[in-house]
Structure 1
Amino acid sequence: MAAASESEPRQAAKRMRLDTYHEVYRSVSLSSADTEVYVERTHPKNVLEGLNRLRLNRALCDVVLCCGGQEFPCHRYVLASFSPYFEAMFTSGMLESTQERVTISAVEPQVFGMLVNYAYTSEVSISDENVEALLEASNLLDFMAIREACCVYMNRYMDISNCVWINCLAEAQCCEMLAEQSMDYILEHFSDIYQQEDFLSLSVEELTKILASDHLNVPKEDMVFEAAMLWLDKCPTCYIHETGGHRI
């Protein structure tokens, strides 16, 4: 009886080890019936954590990126591995490929720090306060996953108060899908949007594109005229056609 009772904990421990093993590894059968490749599931995460630890300790870093008076020690190969911008910078014979210190311009240092942190952790926190700067910086530096994440974020939280701003930003950053989604939203909810401050700040070209759309959803045609007059009252010096100086 004692031997049997002692074997049960051992069996339970064995099962636990097997469960843990299968959580960590997965097997992929090859063409050979007696050959398998074992892949550690946590390996990518462990590698990233190790690289980030090296970065934070300034170990084996081969470049310091300078942005807005702040310094970011990094590993060239980490940044080049997923950013075409940095791959071109560090592998195409540019001056920066051999410099120990490289200046990054046109990006806020706080936002750049978030991008660097993402490179080593695969995580980034997006909010209303930083989404515009993150989108612009990720678009500039070819952090395409963050670019897409920003677009998803803005589409998810789109409403009548921000859809015009989102559309203008998407157009400026060449985010085609988000531009299309936001334009569809504007056209669908036009009767609730045309008195919003962002709408009244549209350029002539942007206003014309909306008012001329076949998909503009309005309960009556007079609303289009009313929207145009509201916009003109807000910006009386704007012209649809500069030739001849004709105003709308």
Structure 2
Amino acid sequence: MELPLCFHQHPTLFSTLFLSISIQIAEWLLSSLLELSSQFKVEPLMKCCKEIIDCLEVDKKPSDSGKILIVSKGRLQDHRFDSCPLKAPLNVQKVAEFLANGEHSDINIYVNGHGLVAKGHKLILSLWSVPLAKMFTNGMKESNAADIFFEDVPPKPFFLLLQFMYYGELKLDTGDITSVLVQLLLLADQFAITVLQFECCKRIMEYLSEDTVCSVLQAVSSIPSCKLLEEVCKRNFATHFDYCTTACTDFVSLDEATFKDILEHGDMTVTSEERVLDVILTWCMGACETFHWTSVDELLRTSTPEQLFGERLSAINTLLPLVRFPLMHLSILKRMERSNLANHIQAFRQLVAEAIEFSHAGQLMPTACECERFQHRRSSYKELQYISDGDSNGVIYYAGTSFGKHQWMNPVLTKNITVVASSPNSRHTDPKALVSKNYQGTCFAGPCVENGKRVSWWMVDIGQEHQLMCNYYTVRQDGSTAFMRSWAFQGSMDGRNWTSLRVHDSDPTVCYPGQFASWPIVGPAALLPFRFFRVALTGPAVGCTWNLCICFLELYGYFH
């Protein structure tokens, strides 16, 4: 296409057509700009130029042709446009088609090991990414090469990065979404695409869970612009400390500063200080499984601290003071006092001695009121331990005392907990009967249909202000012989989305009327806090009935 001579003499005019919202030009160039905008059919700019020329013709005063005018096309947009990084009016759909069909491409983009991933456009890539712009203009071989190769980049997140630069939005399928977003976030940081970084951070926070928080923390701790996401992750880890350090040992890969921030977090929630000690020792060892402090103590019989902790030995002195030894039972402290840990590690020996002194002197110790080490954590759990069937140690009994404030009353009547059945309330489907201390000859929850499946359940809500990490539960059969055989014990935070804590399939335990039966919850599931709990039939009871015939339910574990 042949361009007017003024374009070759004044290339700025040409850039005005496509990149600028407004431009300052000399009055004598106005006609040339109108000619260019007409040739390329940039109608908003054409209209603007004609308006200015008409105004100048009306003004009869002599004009200096060198006077500078401001020409704007941004105010006259007749079509819906999105924005590119330079805020230019841009038909994103058309630009997206360039990526899809490779039209007007001037560079082939390869990922080593995966071949050609896209036919790209240097101009579009440069607008989004300063590092890519420098690559294309630094005079090195990439500046003039038709093919560029990227090593050590994950292909799927990399193509999502390219899509974002053409579409202006993040297009992401469901699936293992967090791992892809983390990889995409690292690429956005590498190529300095700030808008994409913010979008990735927002999406990661939406999908963040206790199972993904460690991998996210490892990635974002080195990215300065992701401090908000980093803080959200640290809080998530701290409030689910037991689960995050039990479900896997990814936490040993966290750097010392991040790990220390979690241990010092104000929302740190943990079942025992022994647990904190175990996790610190495991981190210092870089172990692939969590070690109890007694196991580490045993290893020190045949190993030195240098051999056991390696490069992280120096971190022991920094991290051990974050364990609140004074909150441990005196008998445990006495064992620690005689341990190999105390013999080999001075900081451990001093902290244990201080805790033993505190157990004798209490608040009379001068430092006891000033040091956090002597204070209970703000977010801590009360252990409600299963002893025997029908005991008075469970959460529901505790709620009946208004959490230790008065003599027992039915917690449904005092509104400390709520009980709901899968069928409407009736004489034999009575919520308060399930948590009473009296045996009921007939007490059942009838069937309903959920997600197209038949199910019967009793559900307990321990209250908006409370959570329980359940590690044991007890039921009691009513006076019937409709014994349950296949059921699930489940927990939930919202009463809609359920996590199975223990699944029973053809379980013959319950075999006579009025029988108590109890089961432990084991593994990482026992360390997840929930507000709602339910026992739900997944198959018919004996006699082919779908009535869940239990007259008592009790829960145990760590209550908050």
Check whether TM > 0.5.
yes
From the superposition, tell whether residues 156 and 58 of structure 1 become closer, same or farther in structure 2 (CA, over 3 Å). Answer: closer
Whole-Å Cα distance in 1 between the matches of residues 274 and 179 of structure 2? 37
Whole-Å Cα distance in 1 between the matches of residues 82 and 253 of structure 2? 46
- Partner of residue 10, structure 1: none
Instruction: Give 1:225 deviation, angstroms.
Output: 2.2
Whole-Å Cα distance in 2 between the matches of residues 207 and 185 of structure 1? 13
- SS of 1:64's equivalent? strand
- Partner of residue 7, structure 1: none
Corresponding residue to 2:127 among 47, 67, 81: 81
Instruction: Give 1:87 deviation, angstroms.
Output: 1.7
- Partner of residue 210, structure 1: 262
- Partner of residue 379, structure 2: none
Instruction: Give 1:182 deviation, angstroms.
Output: 0.9
Give the aligned residue type for 2:313. Answer: H
Given that residues 164 and 198 in structure 1 are in contact (C-alpha distance below 8 angstroms), is that contact kept between their aligned partners in structure 2? no
Instruction: Give 1:203 deviation, angstroms.
Output: 4.8
From the superposition, tell whether residues 164 and 128 of structure 1 become closer, same or farther in structure 2 (CA, over 3 Å). Answer: closer
Instruction: Give 1:204 deviation, angstroms.
Output: 6.9
Whether 1:67 aligns to 2:111 is yes
- Partner of residue 241, structure 1: 313
Give the aligned residue type for 2:81. Answer: H
Whether 1:39 aligns to 2:67 is no
Greater alpha carbon shift after TM alignment, 84-93 vs 188-197? 188-197
Corresponding residue to 1:158 among 208, 226, 229: 208
- Partner of residue 135, structure 1: 185
Whole-Å Cα distance in 2 between the matches of residues 225 and 59 of structure 1? 61
Whether 1:56 aligns to 2:100 is yes
From the superposition, tell whether residues 214 and 114 of structure 1 become closer, same or farther in structure 2 (CA, over 3 Å). Answer: closer
Corresponding residue to 1:99 among 145, 148, 163: 145
From the superposition, tell whether residues 142 and 135 of structure 1 become closer, same or farther in structure 2 (CA, over 3 Å). Answer: same
Whole-Å Cα distance in 2 between the matches of residues 199 and 53 of structure 1? 42
Instruction: Give 1:176 deviation, angstroms.
Output: 2.2
- Partner of residue 29, structure 1: none
Corresponding residue to 2:218 among 168, 172, 176: 168
Whether 1:227 aligns to 2:273 is no
- Partner of residue 502, structure 2: none
Given that residues 182 and 204 in structure 2 are in contact (C-alpha distance below 8 angstroms), is that contact kept between their aligned partners in structure 1? no
Task: Give the number of the structure whose residues are more often helix, by fraction.
Answer: 1
Instruction: Give 1:226 deviation, angstroms.
Output: 4.0
- Unpaired runs of at least 5, structure 2: 1-43, 45-54, 56-72, 84-89, 297-307, 316-343, 349-560
Whole-Å Cα distance in 2 between the matches of residues 57 and 202 of structure 1? 43
Give the aligned residue type for 1:196. Answer: A
Given that residues 164 and 171 in structure 2 are in contact (C-alpha distance below 8 angstroms), is that contact kept between their aligned partners in structure 1? no
Whole-Å Cα distance in 1 between the matches of residues 269 and 141 of structure 2? 56
Name the Cα RMSD after superposition: 3.5
Greater alpha carbon shift after TM alignment, 126-135 vs 195-204? 195-204
Instruction: Give 1:208 deviation, angstroms.
Output: 4.1
Whether 1:115 aligns to 2:161 is yes
Given that residues 165 and 198 in structure 1 are in contact (C-alpha distance below 8 angstroms), is that contact kept between their aligned partners in structure 2? no
Task: Give the number of the structure whose residues are more often strand, by fraction.
Answer: 2
Greater alpha carbon shift after TM alignment, 164-173 vs 69-78? 164-173
From the superposition, tell whether residues 241 and 72 of structure 1 become closer, same or farther in structure 2 (CA, over 3 Å). Answer: same
- Unpaired runs of at least 5, structure 1: 1-24, 26-33
Give the aligned residue type for 1:70. Answer: L
From the superposition, tell whether residues 57 and 228 of structure 1 become closer, same or farther in structure 2 (CA, over 3 Å). Answer: closer
Instruction: Give 1:178 deviation, angstroms.
Output: 1.4
From the superposition, tell whether residues 198 and 84 of structure 1 become closer, same or farther in structure 2 (CA, over 3 Å). Answer: farther
Instruction: Give 1:199 deviation, angstroms.
Output: 5.2
TM-score of the two chains, using structure 2 as the length reference: 0.34
Give the aligned residue type for 1:53. Answer: E
Given that residues 67 and 105 in structure 1 are in contact (C-alpha distance below 8 angstroms), is that contact kept between their aligned partners in structure 2? yes
From the superposition, tell whether residues 51 and 230 of structure 1 become closer, same or farther in structure 2 (CA, over 3 Å). Answer: closer
Whether 1:193 aligns to 2:231 is no
Give the aligned residue type for 1:176. Answer: K
Whole-Å Cα distance in 1 between the matches of residues 92 and 265 of structure 2? 50
Whether 1:183 aligns to 2:183 is no
Give the aligned residue type for 1:238. Answer: F
From the superposition, tell whether residues 51 and 153 of structure 1 become closer, same or farther in structure 2 (CA, over 3 Å). Answer: closer
- SS of 2:77's equivalent? strand
Give the aligned residue type for 1:120. Answer: Y
From the superposition, tell whether residues 104 and 221 of structure 1 become closer, same or farther in structure 2 (CA, over 3 Å). Answer: same
Instruction: Give 1:230 deviation, angstroms.
Output: 5.7
Alignment length (residue pairs): 215
Look at both structures and tell me which one has the larger radius of gyration over its CA atoms: 2
Given that residues 51 and 120 in structure 1 are in contact (C-alpha distance below 8 angstroms), is that contact kept between their aligned partners in structure 2? yes
Whole-Å Cα distance in 2 between the matches of residues 132 and 95 of structure 1? 31
Give the aligned residue type for 2:248. Answer: E
Give the aligned residue type for 1:113. Answer: F
Instruction: Give 1:200 deviation, angstroms.
Output: 5.0
